[in-house]
């Protein structure tokens, strides 16, 4: 709400009361006028106009006739200026006000209170002109200046000297970083430690309408009245206010002595501008809030106290009545900022602020250019910073003009899949590389979007190593891979979940001489010559701490190179997952499947079946719905190459994880070498089950755990062999139950619960559980009555809890909250769903408008993108057994990278039809 000033508080306003009518009756007293009324009402009872003019006259004269009158020379006093100064004092909670020729003239008058040997404590984020004048008096007057971070009141304490500290110079918000200074706390602290120090506040950014620092302990407040007080940029003026008579006397003497008092005509113009101050500021700061939220929603670093994320928001709300109309934001690149500033039309490129017209500038090359670059850097002033000074224009016009400048500069780009503009970050190598990724129409290349599930071992962990059949199933937490074409002779990988790792390689720099290209036959053995060449060459710069990144990059490059024929396509591969990495849920296998599928598609080693011509208008292509769209030969080829990638990552994998990731559902696996039928066999009729997977967040050493069971078997063969036989019985029983289509659902869930409890007990006896896993089991058992067992190697990692169909949602949420409070990470998912999926490349199968939901609510996009023309169905041309397509589909990379983990599955599903094995 706008501030109100009670003119009856004579201690606060001893001189400049604005009379209000007496109460009309004792029952209904008059209330004090509010600020906007005070602004518009220019009334000085001691200076009534002889003709009753409704507007203060301009006394455009240098001298006044007579002897002993109130005025004799306009340098010393002028009626128009007196009206103005009375009015400013009234709205500033001040006893005294003075107006001079500019804001810097006001500061100059104040600094003349100092003498050689005095010390000033000033902020480290000051207006450039202020910094320039402080540098001058330090050099020529012998005053010591301490620049400190005034956002933390305690940083001033070490610089406050009881006698030497003569002045503390503050701004809040600061210009241009909009830092917030606790004026009240600093004023109190300084007065306690240096009673004679003068607290000076530059209030230009707020104006008296939004902030009155004298009310918070300041001794002197000054404004560049050129800004908000005037509001029209048609005059230069400065205002100084204070309550102390001794300071007022010194200030008045200096102004009269140096002759920088404001002229009559400028006094009249300034008085006229102040009348609309509240009206203008209300409009300006409302629009500024919209602009700040718009930029924040795009992902820029925005400095504005009206944002909840601003570190000084709480302090600002305590000392100010509004957030002002100046904000700044960072783009991450100076050249980009220059393009944005130069690209605006409605926003005027200019220094200063506070005008009814909106302005845009780059402080480091304009208002703050007088501060040397080293000092700017030391004070954390970004060279790419853009300052916006919001005017009273229609906010939608301002936002439209700003958005167009952002688009033209390349700071934001249209994401057609979202039908909105998204930010294109500028400040790192990843971004610069992504800018190079664009469709090369001549080559008719497109994006391929792939996903593969993780896996969970339902029964038979550890026992599978000793010949027992294990049962594994897909889990609907997935890895996603996206290929984006490049046309710059490079191939790159972006591992979003591994420290956002990104690297690119010139194709010609890869060790092609070490490659034995794969022909039509799939090699069974890993090409160690190529592995060594990659490790010792292009991957040699990765450290030991980046072991996982090295493995993922190696697998990608190995597949890319060995699958290459005569052509060497250039593309970027981005991978991210909703699977927790390293928790025993097959995250590496799902990545291997995505990487293998991507390389096979890009190298045209596999292709999707073309759409057959419909036999009638009602014909439905069943092959492109559900889990049977990708033919078996495609699945088999992907699985073979994914297994090769798993060899790179794990040395001697069983093949279970990648098989589950390709085929989905559930399968039984028996390791060869134990005198019985071995291999993998799908469990037909498997019904999807709901599970809660809980990541203990405890790292595990799989090799150590497996070795421990082996040692226990050597030392206690009868015990361990008996456990292994029992686990084999459990797996056999579970396999029969899962494959029985006539077994009632309730009976199946009851049987699985009992088998899980039994299996877990045996694993505890084998010594592969962990206290964290036992805690999870206990939390899910009591009071919920659910069955939980460890999954994978144990010793940490994940536990899996079966959720019955009739388990109440409220109970489930309560359980999830309980596990989170215990610092575990639960994932509600289904088990036994689809395997490898490829987003259909056919336009008929794709949707528009799948939205990312994590951006804060706000005005959002203001310039609607052109309405897209409807897609015409098309059928690909088949060339040499592969379809030749011209891509007219939405670009996916920007939303794929920017969506949160929680939003990723819904966004991916909303893109259109997925083709599954």
Helix 547-562 to helix 632-650 angle, to the nearest 10 degrees?
A: 140
- Is residue 263 pLDDT above 60, yes or no? yes
Which of 510-524, 572-586, 591-605, 680-694 is most confident? Answer: 591-605
Q: What is the pLDDT of residue 682?
A: 85
Q: In the chain, helix, strand, coil percent, each to 5?
A: 40, 20, 45
* Integer CA distances (angstroms), 110 to 74, 222, 244, 252, 386, in order: 21, 9, 13, 10, 30
Give the separation between CA 396 and CA 290, rounded to whole angstroms: 9
183-241 residue pLDDT tens: 999 999 999 999 999 999 999 999 999 999 999 999 999 999 999 999 999 999 999 99
β-pairing, 220-223 vs 198-202, is parallel
Angle at which helix 702-715 crosses helix 717-739, to 10 degrees, equals 120
Q: What is the pLDDT of residues 669-715, one digit of tens each?
A: 888 777 778 788 888 766 778 999 998 988 877 778 888 999 999 99
How far is the C-alpha of 435 from the C-alpha of 553, rounded, in Å?
21
Is residue 390 helix, strand or coil? coil
State the pLDDT at residue 39.
87
Q: What are the distances in angstroms from CA 485 to CA 546, 578, 642, 880? A: 26, 24, 22, 22
Greater pLDDT, 810 or 523: 810
Q: Is 689 helix (H, G, I), strand (E, B) or coil?
A: strand
Average pLDDT over residues 350-376: 82
DSSP string, 580-628: PTTSSS-HHHHHHHHHHHHHHHHTTSS-PPPPPPPSSTT---GGGSGGG
Highest mean pLDDT among 138-152, 679-693, 782-796: 138-152
Pairing verdict, β 301-303 and 326-330: antiparallel
Looking at residue 20, what is its pLDDT?
Answer: 45
Which of 607, 602, 552, 553 has the alpha carbon at shortest distance from 582? Answer: 552
Task: Supply the pLDDT for residue 827.
Answer: 87
Query: Does residue 421 register a pLDDT over 90?
Result: no
DSSP string, 860-896: ---SPPPPPPPPPP--PEEETTEEE----SPP-HHHH
Side-by-side strand order, sheet with 386-389: 301-303, 326-330, 386-389, 359-361, 348-349
686 with 475: CB under 8 angstroms?
no
Which residues 6+ apart lie within 8 Å of 452 measured at CB?
478, 479, 481, 589, 590, 591, 593, 594, 597, 661, 662, 835, 836, 837
Segment 550-575 shows an average pLDDT of: 92
pLDDT at residue 457 is higher than 60: yes
Within 10 angstroms of residue 58's Cβ, the number of other Cβ atoms is 17
Distances in whole angstroms, Cα of residue 615 to Cα of each of 611, 618, 619, 626: 12, 8, 6, 21
Which pLDDT belongs to residue 792? 82
Q: What is the mean pLDDT of residues 375-403?
A: 89
User: 3-class DSSP state for residue 191?
Assistant: helix
**Short-list 453, 466, 447, 505, CA closest to 890:** 447
Residue-wise pLDDT for 212-223, tens only, equals 999 999 999 999
- 592-630 per-position pLDDT tens digit: 999 999 999 999 899 887 766 555 555 555 554 445 688
For range 322-337, the mean pLDDT: 93
> Is there a contact between 309 and 206 (Cβ–Cβ < 8 Å)?
no
pLDDT at 437 over 50: no
At 519, the pLDDT band (50, 70, 90 cuts) reads low
Q: Considering only CA atoms, which of 491, 35, 100, 67 is closest in space to residue 261?
A: 100
Instruction: Choose the weakest-confidence range: 436-450, 592-606, 821-835.
Output: 436-450
Q: What is the pLDDT of residues 459-480, one digit of tens each?
A: 998 888 888 998 999 988 899 9
pLDDT over threshold 50, residue 134? yes
Active-site residues, by number, are: 75, 127, 202, 227
Whole-model pTM: value is 0.51
Residue with tokens 């494959």: 739
Annotate 764-790 with b (16+ C-beta within 10 A) or e (fewer): bebebbbebbbbbbebbeeebebbbbb
Closest to 500 measured CA to CA, from 903, 905, 907, 897: 897
* pLDDT at residue 146 is higher than 90: yes
What's the CA gap between 807 and 786, in Å, rounded? 10
Backbone φ and ψ for 879, nearest 5 degrees, come out as -125, 120
- Tokens, residue 372: 């040397």
> Coil, strand or helix: which one is 493?
strand
* Tokens (6 digits) for 835: 């395997």
* Average pLDDT value over all residues in the chain: 85
- Residue 663's φ and ψ, nearest 5 degrees, are -95, -20
Task: Provide the pLDDT confidence category of residue 145 given band limits of 50, 70 and 90.
Answer: very high
C-beta atoms surrounding 906 within 10 Å: 13
- As given in the structure block, the two tokens for residue 156 are 């001033």
CA angle 99, 100, 105 (to 5 degrees): 135
In angstroms, the Cα distances linking 888 to 90, 318, 570, 621, 871 are: 66, 54, 19, 22, 8
The answer to whether the beta carbons of residues 750 and 768 sit under 8 Å apart is no
250: three-class secondary structure by DSSP? helix
Looking at the predicted structure, is the pLDDT value of residue 859 above 50? no
Report whether 911 contacts 449 (CB < 8 A).
yes
User: Is the distance from CB of 292 to CB of 304 less than 8 angstroms?
Assistant: yes
Most confident among 52-66, 274-288, 611-625, 640-654 (mean pLDDT): 274-288
Euclidean distance between CA atoms 631 and 174, whole angstroms: 64
* 861 or 354, greater pLDDT: 354
Q: CA dist 602 to 424, 485, 486, 841, 885, Å? A: 25, 9, 12, 13, 13
In the predicted model, is pLDDT for residue 16 greater than 60? no
């Amino acid at each position: 709400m706008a501030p109100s000033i009670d003119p009856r508080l004579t201690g606060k306003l001893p001189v400049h009361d604005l009379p209000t009518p007496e109460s009309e009756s004792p029952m209904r007293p008059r209330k004090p006028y509010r600020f906007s009324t005070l602004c518009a009402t220019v009334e000085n009872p001691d200076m009534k106009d002889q003709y009753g003019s409704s507007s203060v006259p301009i006394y455009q004269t240098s001298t006044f006739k007579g002897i002993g009158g109130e005025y004799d020379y306009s340098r010393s006093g002028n009626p128009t200026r007196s009206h103005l100064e009375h009015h400013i004092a009234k709205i500033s909670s001040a006893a005294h006000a003075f107006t001079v020729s500019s804001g810097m003239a006001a500061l100059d008058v104040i600094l003349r209170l100092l003498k050689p040997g005095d010390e000033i404590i000033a902020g480290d984020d000051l207006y450039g002109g202020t910094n320039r004048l402080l540098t001058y008096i330090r050099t020529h007057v012998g005053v010591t200046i301490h620049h400190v971070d005034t956002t933390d009141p305690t940083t001033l304490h070490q610089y406050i000297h009881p006698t030497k500290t003569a002045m503390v110079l503050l701004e809040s918000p600061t210009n241009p970083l909009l830092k917030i200074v606790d004026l009240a706390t600093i004023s109190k602290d300084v007065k306690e430690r240096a009673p004679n120090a003068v607290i000076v506040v530059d209030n230009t950014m707020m104006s008296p309408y939004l902030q009155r620092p004298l009310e918070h302990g300041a001794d002197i407040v000054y404004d560049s009245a050129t800004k908000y007080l005037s509001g029209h940029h048609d005059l230069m003026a400065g205002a100084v206010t204070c309550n102390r008579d001794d300071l007022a006397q010194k200030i008045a003497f200096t102004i009269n002595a140096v002759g920088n008092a404001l002229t009559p005509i400028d006094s009249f113009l300034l008085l006229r501008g102040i009348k609309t101050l509240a009206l203008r500021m209300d409009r300006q700061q409302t629009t500024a809030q919209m602009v700040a939220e718009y930029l924040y929603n795009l992902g820029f670093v925005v400095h504005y106290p009206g944002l909840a994320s601003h570190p000084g928001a709480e302090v600002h709300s305590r000392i100010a009545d509004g957030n002002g109309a100046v904000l700044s934001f960072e783009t991450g690149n100076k050249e980009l900022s220059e393009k944005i500033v130069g690209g605006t039309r409605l926003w005027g490129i200019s220094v200063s602020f506070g005008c009814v017209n909106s302005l845009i500038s780059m402080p480091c090359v304009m208002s703050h250019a007088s501060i040397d670059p080293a000092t700017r850097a030391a004070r954390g002033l970004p060279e790419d910073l853009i300052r916006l000074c919001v005017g009273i224009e229609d906010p939608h016009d301002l936002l439209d003009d700003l958005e167009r400048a952002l688009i033209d500069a390349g700071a934001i780009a249209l994401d057609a899949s979202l039908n909105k503009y998204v930010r294109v970050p500028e400040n790192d190598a990843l971004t610069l590389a992504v800018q190079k990724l664009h469709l090369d129409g001549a080559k008719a290349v497109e994006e391929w979007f792939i996903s593969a599930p993780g896996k969970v071992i339902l029964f038979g962990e550890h026992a599978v190593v000793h010949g027992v059949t294990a049962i594994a199933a897909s889990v609907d937490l997935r890895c996603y891979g996206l290929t984006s074409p490049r046309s710059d002779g490079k191939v790159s990988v972006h591992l979003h979940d591994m420290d956002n790792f990104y690297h690119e390689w010139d194709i010609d720099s890869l060790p092609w001489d070490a490659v034995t290209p794969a022909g039509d036959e799939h090699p069974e053995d890993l090409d160690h010559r190529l592995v060594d060449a990659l490790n010792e060459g292009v991957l040699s710069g990765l450290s030991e701490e980046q072991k996982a990144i090295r493995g993922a990059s190696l697998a990608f490059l190995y597949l890319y190179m060995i699958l290459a024929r005569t052509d060497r396509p250039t593309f970027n591969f981005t991978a991210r997952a909703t699977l927790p990495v390293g928790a025993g849920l097959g995250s590496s296998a799902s990545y291997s499947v995505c990487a293998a599928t991507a390389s096979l598609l890009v190298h045209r080693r596999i292709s999707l079946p073309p759409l057959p011509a419909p036999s009638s208008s009602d014909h439905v292509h069943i092959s492109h719905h559900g889990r049977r769209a990708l033919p078996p030969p495609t699945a088999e080829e992907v699985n073979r190459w994914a297994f090769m990638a798993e060899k790179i990552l794990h040395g001697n994998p069983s093949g279970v994880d990648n098989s589950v990731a390709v085929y989905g559902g559930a399968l039984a696996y028996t390791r060869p070498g134990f005198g019985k039928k071995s291999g993998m066999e799908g469990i037909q009729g498997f019904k999807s089950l709901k599970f809660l997977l809980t990541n203990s967040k405890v790292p595990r050493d799989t090799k150590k755990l497996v070795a421990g069971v082996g040692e226990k078997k050597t030392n206690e063969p009868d015990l361990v062999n008996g456990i292994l036989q029992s686990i084999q019985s459990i797996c056999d029983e579970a396999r029969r139950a899962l494959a029985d289509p006539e077994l009632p659902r309730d009976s199946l869930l009851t049987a699985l619960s009992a088998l899980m409890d039994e299996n877990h007990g045996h694993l505890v006896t084998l010594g592969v559980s962990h206290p964290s896993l036992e805690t999870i089991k206990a939390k899910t058992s009591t009071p919920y009555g659910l069955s939980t067992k460890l999954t994978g190697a144990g010793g940490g990692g994940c536990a899996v809890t079966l959720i019955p169909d009739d388990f109440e949602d409220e109970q489930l949420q309560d359980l999830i909250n309980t596990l989170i409070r215990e610092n575990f990470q639960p994932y509600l998912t289904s088990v036994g769903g689809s395997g490898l999926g490829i987003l259909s490349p056919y336009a008929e199968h794709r949707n528009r408008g799948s939205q990312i939901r994590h951006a804060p609510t706000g005005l959002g996009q203001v310039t609607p993108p052109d309405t897209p023309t409807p897609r015409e169905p098309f059928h690909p041309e088949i060339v040499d057994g592969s379809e030749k397509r011209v891509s007219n589909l939405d670009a996916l990379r920007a939303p794929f990278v920017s969506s949160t983990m929680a939003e990723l599955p819904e966004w991916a599903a909303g893109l259109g039809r997925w083709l599954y094995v």
